[in-house]
C-alpha cells in the first residue's frame, strides 16, 4: 500500500513543471509541494481543507525561560508587546518555576494560557 502511494507521489511530482511552483508570483518550494502531494496521496488532506503547513518555529515547543521575543511571538496570540512583557517579567523576577507562572504576566489570562500551554515548556 505504501509503495503505491510513493509511486503516486513520484509520478505527480515528475509531471510538475516550473509554473506549478509559482503561487501569486512567489516561489513555492519543491519540498512543500512534495509534502502536500504525500499528504494528498495518503488521504491526510481532504478537499476543502487548508493546505498551509505550520512553520518549523510553530511546530516546536518554546522554552519560556530561554526564548527571545521573536521566538515567543511564534506562539498563538503573542505579539511583540506581550512577548516584550514576558521577557521583561523574566528579567525582573527570574525564571518561571511552572508553566502556570506565565499567567503572572499582564495580558496572559486563563484563556490565552490554555491556547499556548501545549506549545510551551520550561
Same domain, 69 and 21: no
In the chain, the N- to C-terminal Cα span, in Å, equals: 41
Same domain, 6 and 33: yes
CATH number of the domain where residue 97 is located: 1.10.150.320
Domain hosting residue 15, numbered range: 2-41
Sequential pLDDT tens for the chain (122 residues)? 455 656 666 666 666 655 555 555 555 566 666 666 666 666 655 445 444 554 554 458 999 999 999 999 999 999 999 999 999 999 999 999 999 999 999 999 999 999 999 999 99
Same domain, 36 and 61: no
- What would the grid cell of residue 35 be? 509534502
Contact, 101 vs 91, CB < 8 A? no
At residue 60, the pLDDT reads 80
- What would the grid cell of residue 70 be? 521573536
Residue 46 domain-assigned (yes or no):
no
Same domain, 25 and 76: no
Q: What is the pTM of this model?
A: 0.53
Count of domains observed in the chain: 2
Amino acid at each position: 500500500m505504501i509503495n503505491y502511494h510513493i509511486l503516486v507521489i513520484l509520478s505527480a511530482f515528475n509531471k510538475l513543471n516550473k509554473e506549478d511552483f509559482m503561487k501569486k508570483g512567489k516561489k513555492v518550494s519543491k519540498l512543500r509541494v512534495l509534502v502536500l502531494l504525500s499528504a494528498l496521496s495518503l488521504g491526510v488532506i481532504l478537499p476543502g481543507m487548508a493546505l498551509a503547513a505550520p512553520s518549523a518555529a510553530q511546530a516546536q515547543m518554546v522554552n519560556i525561560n530561554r526564548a527571545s521575543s521573536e521566538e515567543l511571538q511564534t506562539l498563538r496570540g503573542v505579539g511583540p508587546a506581550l512577548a516584550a512583557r514576558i521577557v521583561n517579567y523574566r528579567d525582573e523576577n527570574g525564571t518561571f518555576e511552572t508553566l502556570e507562572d506565565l499567567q503572572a504576566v499582564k495580558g496572559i489570562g486563563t484563556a490565552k494560557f490554555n491556547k499556548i500551554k501545549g506549545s510551551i515548556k520550561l
